[in-house]
Amino acid sequence: MLNFALVGCGRIAKRHSELLGMGQVRGARLVAVCDLDESKARKIAEQFRVPHYRDMHEMMETESVDVIVVLTESGRHVNHVIELARHGKHIVVEKPMALTLDDADRMIRACDAARIKLFVVKQNRFNVPVVKLRDALESGRFGKLVMGTVRVRWCRRQDYYDQDDWRGTWALDGGVLTNQASHHVDLLEWMMGDVESVFAFSRTALVEIETEDTAVVVLRFSSGALGVIEATTAARPKDLEGSISILGEGGAVEIGGFAVNELKVWKFAQSQDDDDDVLERYSVNPPNVYGYGHQAYYDHVVDCILNDRKQLVDGLEGRRSLELINAIYESIETGRVVSLRFKPKYCRLGLGNT
């Protein structure tokens, strides 16, 4: 049994604490929680009958912890992960792992030096239809890839951004691309492979925040395939869609629903036996936009630690989609096509985070 402790008891901690605290992940249990805001930590602690702390180091020194889960504001992940690495326990960090590439590099180095595994939460990779799509891709059913597209059409009103100071800021959050759509950017790159160049436009359409609530991005992949990212939190009056489409010479797949959970299209030139009932068997409707992936994600974390397997999204893999997001912002700031690999010069993400 691995002992998990949470650092940060805000919105997403509800999901993590329910899974770990209610015994929904085999081989894992919640042993302690921590938040600078004691009332938030106490609420979760009382629900799952575990001790709570305000100081993460005091928690680590007092409790017997095997895995630390960092659920703090995105721009603070860097300091928390680096400081926690010295305790020598594996670390799970929510997405995005960091905001700047330098921060991501420092986190990777700190975890390598401490000989611990760093896991970046990308739970959508574990959605049932996404796993099915990945299988089809790996078995070569698409043949030559033609185009990959993702769409995030969610609804976040001003009150969502106003609930905490960090939301919608360059220093600690980023906009729709960094926060809500970071999963979809990750999925697109995971399916389509390395990106060669990007061009993007963004705007802040319906709320007052520093960063963008709406963006469109065109991409050219190293394979020659093309891609499109369409991302907004200005869909009204409610969340509409979180989806991905992959088109290749051998077939086409589209996964939709509002959390990339519903297989909408599954068509291949060379059919296989189970193709007919794939649409029904590989779709699940989750109750919210987080989807069901966190549970499968934690099963994966436990498996990697107990059986010393490689994480699907380690620090380097988490850095990969962060590099793409930085490149997109660089294009937005400069009005130019940005080629990867590159060093950001004008991208504002993470600036002012001291």
Cα 99 to Cα 115: distance, rounded to the nearest angstrom: 23
Cα 154 to Cα 149: distance, rounded to the nearest angstrom: 16
Q: Which is nearer to ligand NAD, 145 or 177 (CB)?
A: 177
Q: Which is nearer to ligand NAD, 36 or 278 (CB)?
A: 36
Q: Which is nearer to ligand NAD, 182 or 214 (CB)?
A: 182
State the minimum distance, in angstroms, from the CB of residue 40 to ligand NAD. 5
Cα 265 to Cα 198: distance, rounded to the nearest angstrom: 27
Q: Which is nearer to ligand NAD, 94 or 330 (CB)?
A: 94
Q: Which is nearer to ligand NAD, 141 or 156 (CB)?
A: 156
Please answer whether residues 100 and 349 qualify as being in contact, where contact means their C-beta atoms are separated by less than 8 angstroms: yes
State the minimum distance, in angstroms, from the CB of residue 143 to ligand NAD. 32
State the minimum distance, in angstroms, from the CB of residue 95 to ligand NAD. 5
State the minimum distance, in angstroms, from the CB of residue 67 to ligand NAD. 16
State the minimum distance, in angstroms, from the CB of residue 29 to ligand NAD. 20
Q: Which is nearer to ligand NAD, 56 or 328 (CB)?
A: 56
Q: Which is nearer to ligand NAD, 227 or 291 (CB)?
A: 291
CA distances to 29, 177, 179, 325 from 170, rounded to whole Å, are: 35, 12, 11, 13
State the minimum distance, in angstroms, from the CB of residue 237 to ligand NAD. 21
Q: Which is nearer to ligand NAD, 28 or 121 (CB)?
A: 121
State the minimum distance, in angstroms, from the CB of residue 224 to ligand NAD. 32
346 φψ region: left (φ > 0), alpha (ψ -120 to 50), beta (else): alpha
Please answer whether residues 287 and 308 qualify as being in contact, where contact means their C-beta atoms are separated by less than 8 angstroms: no
Q: Which is nearer to ligand NAD, 39 or 139 (CB)?
A: 39
Cα 38 to Cα 332: distance, rounded to the nearest angstrom: 40
Please answer whether residues 95 and 182 qualify as being in contact, where contact means their C-beta atoms are separated by less than 8 angstroms: yes
Locus of tokens 């899974």: 19
Q: How far is CA 191 from the centre of its chain?
A: 15
Helix (H, G, I), strand (E, B) or coil at 232: strand
Cα 91 to Cα 111: distance, rounded to the nearest angstrom: 8
Cα 73 to Cα 67: distance, rounded to the nearest angstrom: 19
Locus of tokens 């999901």: 15
State the minimum distance, in angstroms, from the CB of residue 6 to ligand NAD. 9
The secondary structure of 22-74 as a DSSP string is TT-STTEEEEEEE-SSHHHHHHHHHHHT--EES-HHHHHHHS--SEEEE-S-G
Q: Tokens for 118, please give them.
A: 């760093």
Q: Which is nearer to ligand NAD, 76 or 90 (CB)?
A: 76
Q: Tokens for 286, please give them.
A: 């989750």
State the minimum distance, in angstroms, from the CB of residue 293 to ligand NAD. 8
Q: What is the 8-class DSSP label of residue 311?
A: P
Closest residue to ligand NAD, Cβ-based?
10
Q: Tokens for 130, please give them.
A: 């996404």
State the minimum distance, in angstroms, from the CB of residue 156 to ligand NAD. 11
Interface with ligand NAD (CB under 6 A) = 7-13, 34-37, 40, 56, 71-74, 76, 80, 94-95, 121, 123, 164, 179, 290
